[in-house]
A = this chain, B = another copy of it.
Amino acid sequence: MAQQSVTSYDVAHLAGVSQPTVSRAFDPNGNISPRTREKVLEAAKQLGYEPNAIARGLTTQRTDIVGIIMGNMTRSHFYPPVLVEFTRRLQSLGKQVLLFNSHETRPVDEIMPRIMSYRVDALIIASTTPGRELIDRFTNKGTPVVMLNRIVPETSANAVSSDNVAGARMVADALLDAGHKKLGFLAGVGVTSTNTLRKKGFVDRLHERGCQNILIDQGEYTYDSGYEAGLRLLDRDDPPDGIFCAADIMALGLMDAARFKLGIKIPDELSVIGYDDIPMAKWPTYGLTTIHQSVTKMVETAVDLITPSKDELKTGQVILLPGELVYRSSARKPNKQE
């Protein structure tokens, strides 16, 4: 059923050049005279030849494929727009995204050999954390690696992250300035730097300002876990009156538990502040006050790191992007003192 494809050898024959010359004609950076390129392209057109990106990857050592590993992409609702933005931006640079899914409960390291076998030009890692040695195997081969919102010390990977500590400190100040005294923090899962740094920034700043009364609970970066944690944090005699959630998606679940299950008025009886600024945060039913992270800026910065001019491989760079506190209606404002 498959038609016989026209090969670069057929084109070379018709154009009267060698096969490597055909490859160079189709490589935007190929070293070839304009006149020869035109001759090759004309022959290719006559024969209906389509250049083979895969085969070109073997000769140019460039596949125009960028690997992206995403773990649990759909849970927090922050990463799908990130993926779309990467796909758009890389595609406009002539590169495509090859997607890898890291298993929920198994280490991401298991799939790294598979990723290596595809000879990706660069690797982007989002919402999952591979081991240092595996990252080094990529950078040792000249393949740049960027981690998003994860910082692993002493690794050759680059990192682009929201400035989680600074953002969380802003939230602490906002809640204290609004007159809140009993504060809560809803953490995300485990030992990720996103989670650790948001907690550290928030708790340290509260301590600096003399607030020791902090109730801490943990969710899993999902709506449901935020809802459940909301019940645990708020269904007690002495509940907090201001809560910082390490991710918007958990804040939405917590708000719904507070409003619809416990009858708590927001923001009159409870201020809720999130982190991320996912699309739902600005829906009128939520109006979530949150730290805005710019998806566009994050992707742009990451793409710059993996597509450097010339052959300069970037390693170990950590770029922190400042977040911005966006006030909506889920938290009392500092000037509205009781």
Contact = CB atoms under 8 A, between A and B. Distances in A.
A313 B98 contact: no
Contact of A58 (B55, B73, B111): B55
Nearest to A72: B84
5 nearest CB pairs, A to B:
A2-B142, A80-B80, A53-B117, A87-B101, A97-B99
14 contacts: A50-B113, A50-B116, A53-B118, A54-B54, A58-B58, A65-B118, A74-B80, A74-B84, A83-B99, A91-B100, A91-B114, A96-B100, A96-B118, A256-B283
Contacts of A88: 101
B101 A98 contact: no
Nearest to A116: B50
Contacts of A50: 113, 116-117
A74 B80 CA distance: 6
Contacts of A283: 223, 252-253, 256
A99 B101 contact: no
Contact of A1 (B91, B96, B100, B142): B142
A133 to B, nearest CB: 13
A3 interface: yes
A290 to B, nearest CB: 17
A279 interface: yes
A52 interface: yes
Contacts of A118: 53-54, 65, 96
Interface string A110-141: 01011011110000000000000000000011
Contacts of A260: 284-285
Interface string A221-252: 00100010000000000000000000000001
A63 interface: yes
A179 interface: no
Interface of A: 1-3, 5, 50-55, 57-58, 61, 63, 65, 70, 73-74, 80-81, 83-84, 87-88, 91, 96-101, 111, 113-114, 116-119, 140-142, 223, 227, 252-253, 256, 259-261, 279-280, 283-285, 311, 313
A114 B114 CA distance: 24
A104 B285 CA distance: 29
Contacts of A116: 50
B119 A54 contact: yes
Nearest to A311: B1
A73 to B, nearest CB: 6
A99 B100 contact: no
B313 A1 contact: yes
Nearest to A4: B141
A99 B74 contact: no
Contacts of A313: 1
A325 B99 CA distance: 33
Contacts of A61: 2
Nearest to A279: B223
A28 B283 CA distance: 50
A236 to B, nearest CB: 21
